[in-house]
Amino acid sequence: MSETQTPETHEFQAEVRQLLDLMIHSLYGNRDIFLRELISNAADAADRLRFEALQDDTLFEDDPEPRVQIAVDKNARTITITDNGIGMNRADVMDNLGTIARSGTRRFLDALTGDQKQDAQLIGQFGVGFYSAFIVADRVVVHTRRAGEPAENGVRWESDGRGEYALQSVSRQARGTAITLHLGEDQDEFLEPQRLRQIVRRYSDHIALPIELLGEDDAPETVNQASALWMRPKRELEDSDYEQFYQQLTFDPEKPLTWMHNSVEGNQAYTSLLYIPAQRPFDLFEPESSHGLRLYVRRVFIMEDKENRLLPRYLRFVRGVVDSDDLPLNVSREILQHNRLIDRIRGASTKRVLDALARLAEDDPQAYGRFWSAFGTVLKEGPVEDPGNAEKIAGLLRFHSTHDETGPNVSLADYVGRMQSGQKAIYYLTGEGLAAVRNSPHLEVFRKRGIEVLLLAEPIDEWLVAHLSEYDGTPLRSAGKGELDLDELPEAEADEKADETPDASVQALIDRLGETLGERVSAVRSSTRLTDSPACIVVGEHEFGLNMQRMLEAAGHDLPAQKPVLEINPTHPLITRLAGDESASLADWGALLLEQSILMDGGRLDDPAAFVRRMNRLLD
């Protein structure tokens, strides 16, 4: 290549001088992406060449196979990225490298209409990616020639990124573009071939043309796969292909439970390949996600969606890729901008995941059991975060139940299918720990009458039932809140309806206990929910339960004062004995009944030592 003209010096446009320094030093989050940007531009140039050659195949000249080559010269401290794509002439160079936020590919697409635009949908558009070269380079030199033009129409462009560039005509035999980066003093890591391999495989592994790294003897080594599995038709793929790609993507040794591979065509096309893992990652409950769906634009890796813009947070266990033809990225391509396409992808992907889980639950309950064990707690966040899909998510939930003690495998549909004639609600009970809930005195009348109760023992369950008020038209009702109307509960066989009015002596005891306990309770009343225990505490229908109160207080929330109701079992021997013994120390007995009820409900006592002393006095 020989220079044929004295270089001309040109100034960048005024906005370039103002913005170039900001772009180089502030716009990009990490330096690695300079190679991603330059390879993407090279791939765009190859796509443009293929498209224009449909009408004029002489543009291929004697080199019909597109490729990108990367060469390193450690002595000169340079990296050269060369492509044999469409190339540029002098006017193209001034337009595309002399201005900012301008792309030859964008202008090319804007000039197309009708069928041409549809045919050219694979051609990328990435704005100012070329200028990312100055992140690592003190000086950048570009040699280029447009395909189909004579060798003497080659162009040399050079700049140090400080406001000016030099331009001259040169002779260049090969079509396409070679960009030489003269690296800065602290950029030695990019002179190592292994470092460049890592960057290519992270960002550009799936670009549909070979990327070759030239060795010391100039022997080319292809360092990318040059294909994207998710862009291949499903009919060409076997299960083993999907499983192998999943393991490459996640490094998870376990096979995924299922996957969803979909392509959406139209003006805003995208492809998604989503996986449901079989085991929980260690960081599933970390406040800051360390992974998300991998976002590609035209097979070029952009970022991991750690901010859950492509899927809601309650589906953060889903792994996979989304590849869009035209997602709105900011000028650095590192920040995803919000628009209707993002909403469309998010909504469609959410629906696909929930539908896939519903199919898995129906077709393979054992596999769904594995999913629930790993991710059920996370899925319970769904009705809180995504009210629009609350009913669909509710159908996927699984619970412990008084009907089945083998595990959390009872669905709301199962419960509704077993409801007794005349039963008006789905009953549940929350608490701290499964054992405490399963043995709660609130369940006694339900067990006696054979009515199933769902047992909710995880912290998230309190939030779940606060936002899930019904399922398929049937309300959810707490078995431990509010007054229990026995008329709403089906009677057990041969169960005579008890007289709900306590006798005079028990009523007198209730009144005395109310006076004794004073401000510690809001009321003392006869219970319709107890059959075996002497007493229990109950909060109002719309008040926080003790478990929820503890969680909110632990999170630093100031709660309004809530006083529970103490319910007394009028038929329990302890209560009947106290009712008939006017000499009994009701101050101690009332406090004891209240405090043991708090403990049975999973609560904590304000003064455990006083409780112990009181117990000792009564046992003496």
Nearest to 341 by CA among 305, 386, 301, 309: 309
CB atoms within 10 A of CB 3: 12
Contacts of residue 478, Cβ cutoff 8 Å, sequence gap at least 6: 427, 428, 429, 430, 465, 541, 545
Burial class of 393 by CB neighbour count within 10 A (0 to 12, 13 to 18, 19+): buried
- As a whole number of angstroms, the distance between CA 448 and CA 12 comes to 85
Nearest to 547 by CA among 382, 394, 383, 433: 433
Output the pLDDT for position 3: 53
Output the pLDDT for position 108: 41
Tokens of 477: 């009702």
Cα 41–chain centre separation:
30
Nearest to 28 by CA among 112, 169, 136, 189: 136
DSSP 239-290: HHHHHHHHHHHH--SSPPSEEEEEEE-SSS-EEEEEEE-SS--TTTT-SS-S
Report the b/e string of 304-318 with b at 16+ CB within 10 A.
Answer: ebeebbbbbebbbbb
Task: For the chain, report the end-to-end CA distance as a whole number of angstroms.
Answer: 107
Output the pLDDT for position 463: 87
Question: Facing residues of 564 across strands?
Answer: none
Tokens of 410: 């009872």
Long-range contacts of 538-544 (CB under 8 A, 24+ apart): 538/442, 538/480, 538/481, 538/482, 538/483, 538/564, 538/565, 538/567, 539/480, 539/481, 539/482, 539/564, 539/565, 540/481, 540/482, 540/565, 541/478, 541/481, 541/482, 543/481
Q: What are the φ/ψ torsions at residue 381 (nearest 5 degrees)?
A: -70, -15
- As a whole number of angstroms, the distance between CA 282 and CA 94 comes to 52
Residue 336's SS3 state is strand
- As a whole number of angstroms, the distance between CA 433 and CA 440 comes to 11
CA atoms within 13 A on the CB side of 351: 8
Output the pLDDT for position 570: 92
Output the pLDDT for position 504: 87
Output the pLDDT for position 312: 94
Output the pLDDT for position 193: 94
Question: Residue 70 in contact with residue 61, Cβ under 8 Å?
Answer: no
Residue spans of beta strands (DSSP E) within 381-490: 400-401, 426-430, 454-456, 470-471, 474-478
What is the rounded (10 degree) CA torsion for 198, 202, 204, 209?
70
- Note the pTM of the prediction, 2 decimals: 0.77
What are the residue ranges in the chain where pLDDT is below 50? 1-2, 101-109, 111-127, 330-335, 493-494, 497-498
- As a whole number of angstroms, the distance between CA 335 and CA 429 comes to 44
